[in-house]
Amino acid sequence: MTGETINMDDFASQNRFVIDGETDKDHQIHSILCQPIYNSERKIIGVAQMINRTTDDHLFTDQDENLFEAFAIFCGLGIHNTQMYENALRLMAKQQVALEVLSYHATAQKDEVEKLKGKPIASVAEFKLESFAFSDFNLTEDETVQASIRMFMDLNLVDRFHIPYKVLCRWLLSVRKNYRPVIYHNWRHAFNVAQTMFSLIKAGGMMTMLTQLEVMGLIVACLCHDLDHRGTNNTFQTKTASPLALLYSTSTMEHHHFDHSIMILNSEGNNIFQALSPEEYRDVISVLEGAILSTDLAIYFKKRNGFFSLVESGEKTFQKPADKELLRGMMMTACDVSAIAKPWDIQRDVAELVFSEFFEQGDMERQQLQEEPIAMMDRKKRDELPKMQVGFIDAICMPVYKSFADLTPGLKPLMDGVVHNRQEWESLAKEQERLSTPDLQNNVKKA
């Protein structure tokens, strides 16, 4: 194909083109106008053709050529759009198949569900779920799921929102299954965050400021807030141009955690919200999304001053929607970093887990990005861990726990725990600084 427009006014006298196939003997071709049809890449994908203009001389004019060229462009766009639509349908079908496969493998299996369903569930007191000093270290994996069921039951969420017990068991097992075996941001971290939220609500007196729908949304958010965490933060996703970073430009991992939680809810037999009205469902999903996104510390820093101002002004009810959202976000932060308020032996062990995961990211940054990681990701600066913990407490933890202690006396134990642990970390930091001073090092060498 030459790609040129053909306007032939005496077809019978030419020998360039021949008629292919049978034609009506009574039908004579006098004139012909042919126009190539291009796709978006300027490749010819077809030909538009007109025969015998309906005038006495049957001749096609220059104006006919211009109009027909526009028609050919329109045909090209139509064909291109049709092909794109067909490709989109194929891609959607592939995506649906992939989701069905992933959903099957990511969902708890029938025997797991039946086993959990038949297990007796210990009481809140036996699990010590209302304690701010709670530790999961002595619980098995199955017991953490059973304790999660107990939280739903004790908060009256199962009866109030008509959650089928089997669906709750399947959903919890599916959520646990969708956490990767990373060092810290795994299922046990999510479970601990949910337990702290339970303590805030039950022992801390926060129930009076929340509706039951909000309570359910917050507990679900805590359990789902780090789903499919890869052990690396948002900055790492951006620096490595990961598919997640391309998909979500801000709060990368948090958006992924939320979307993953929706995927599980939409998987067969996992919708614990199935009995909600359309309005309730919309509201709880809104609570769920806002709560998970608020675990991004960038959002915490952006919004915390508004919360601090409300508490300082004497706000106790948080009835306005914007104030309620602010309260829920700060509660999520307080729960997410709550290991900092645990008894010292628990806090110290958890800090080791956190920094071990950070150091692994630092190692990947050196290997993949050929750059030096920041101090808290750098295992070469492990000795600075106590000093970094003091900085973390002062910059992030102390302000939010102080504000909650001012809001309600029931949350003062969290503030007390942070104050005590800060003293412990500061003491270790000073000891580390003393050991690293040149004079002492020289004395050690002489000895």
Alpha carbons 7 and 67: distance in angstroms, whole number: 13
> What pLDDT shows up at residue 97?
59
> Any residues with CB less than 8 A from the CB of 307 and at least 6 apart, and which?
326, 327, 329, 330, 403
Which of 27, 30, 58, 185 is flagged as catalytic? 185
> Any residues with CB less than 8 A from the CB of 141 and at least 6 apart, and which?
176, 187
SS3 per-residue string spanning 126-165: HHCCCCCCCCCCCCCHHHHHHHHHHHHHHCCHHHHCCCCH
Alpha carbons 433 and 387: distance in angstroms, whole number: 9
Indicate whether 93 pLDDT > 80. Answer: no
Alpha carbons 295 and 332: distance in angstroms, whole number: 6
Q: CA 41: distance to chain centroid?
A: 37
* pLDDT tens-place string over residues 18-28: 766 556 666 77
Q: How many residues does the chain have?
A: 447
Indicate the angle between helix axes 412-435 and 344-369, nearest 10 degrees.
Answer: 60
Torsional class of 165: left (φ above 0), alpha (ψ -120 to 50), beta (otherwise): alpha
> Any residues with CB less than 8 A from the CB of 168 and at least 6 apart, and which?
149, 152, 158, 272
SS3 content of the chain, % helix, strand, coil (to 5): 65, 5, 30
Alpha carbons 312 and 135: distance in angstroms, whole number: 32
> What pLDDT shows up at residue 280?
97
Q: How confident is the model at residue 212 (pLDDT cuts 50, 70, 90)?
A: very high
Average pLDDT over residues 373-397: 95
Average pLDDT over residues 258-269: 92
DSSP string, 282-325: HHHHHHHHHHHHTTSHHHHHHHHHHHHHHHHTT--S--SHHHHH
Scan for tokens 């992939």, then name that residue. 98
> Any residues with CB less than 8 A from the CB of 390 and at least 6 apart, and which?
422, 425, 426, 429
Q: CA 282: distance to chain centroid?
A: 18
Average pLDDT over residues 68-86: 87
Scan for tokens 């493998």, then name that residue. 105
> What pLDDT shows up at residue 423?
98
Torsional class of 430: left (φ above 0), alpha (ψ -120 to 50), beta (otherwise): alpha
> What pLDDT shows up at residue 270?
95
- Residue 380 — φ and ψ, nearest 5°? -70, -20
Alpha carbons 206 and 335: distance in angstroms, whole number: 13
Alpha helices by DSSP H, 294-411: 297-312, 321-336, 344-369, 385-392, 398-407
Contact 49, 34 (CB under 8 A): yes
Tokens standing for residue 176: 């646990």
Q: CA 288: distance to chain centroid?
A: 11
Contact 219, 157 (CB under 8 A): yes
- Residue 387 — φ and ψ, nearest 5°? -65, -40
Greater pLDDT, 440 or 188: 188
Contact 192, 144 (CB under 8 A): no
- Chain mean pLDDT for the chain: 91
CA distances from 286 to 257, 258, 279, 316, 326 (A): 14, 11, 11, 23, 13
> What pLDDT shows up at residue 133?
97
To the query of whether residue 58 is one of the catalytic residues in this protein, the response is no
> What pLDDT shows up at residue 62?
87
Average pLDDT over residues 208-233: 96
Alpha carbons 290 and 390: distance in angstroms, whole number: 29
